[in-house]
Amino acid sequence: MIRAVYDTASCMVTYDKDLLALENSLGIDETRLPCSPNRATFLRMSKTAIIRARVEPGLKTEVENILSDLGLTVSETVHLLYRQIKLQRGLPFDVRIPNALTRRTLDASRKGKGVKHFGSKKELYADLGL
């Protein structure tokens, strides 16, 4: 962990030699990063980045509950997703546009065409011949 401390009274960022080596290796010019809380935060937080996304509230709640059951946080899940994308050089699951038959079938079922309703599993299995 990089150690950088911002002193508001003296407007100084105090850091150790590892931090100075990092600044030099990254080509950071102290004249471009004046003494400020932002500079200290940048130097301390160099191992993380923030991601923001808009998601439907209901979907967000449902997914967070599932992740909680799995013992995962949203941040851990996003990290896992990014790692898998990097490893597989693409999405770790298929993303497909439905073909014409699938599209027609989905449209028909949304409209209730050709949809059968059963009062119980027994009735469903009987209709299927099971």
Residue by residue, pLDDT tens for the chain (130 residues) are 445 554 555 555 555 555 556 556 666 555 444 454 444 444 444 567 888 899 999 999 999 999 999 999 999 999 999 999 999 999 998 888 889 999 999 899 989 898 888 999 999 999 999 9
> Helix, strand or coil for residue 120?
coil
38 and 57 both lie in a single domain: no
- H/E element, 126: helix 121-128
Looking at the structure of the chain, the number of domains it has is 3
pTM above 0.95, yes or no: no
> Helix, strand or coil for residue 4?
strand
Provide the pLDDT for residue 18. Answer: 58
SS3 content of the chain, % helix, strand, coil (to 5): 50, 5, 45
By residue range, what is the domain housing residue 71?
Answer: 51-95
Here the tokens at position 39 are 């500079």
Q: What is the CATH number of the domain that holds 80?
A: 1.10.1220
89 and 56 both lie in a single domain: yes
39 and 65 both lie in a single domain: no
Nearest to 43 by CA among 70, 66, 64, 16: 16
55 and 91 both lie in a single domain: yes
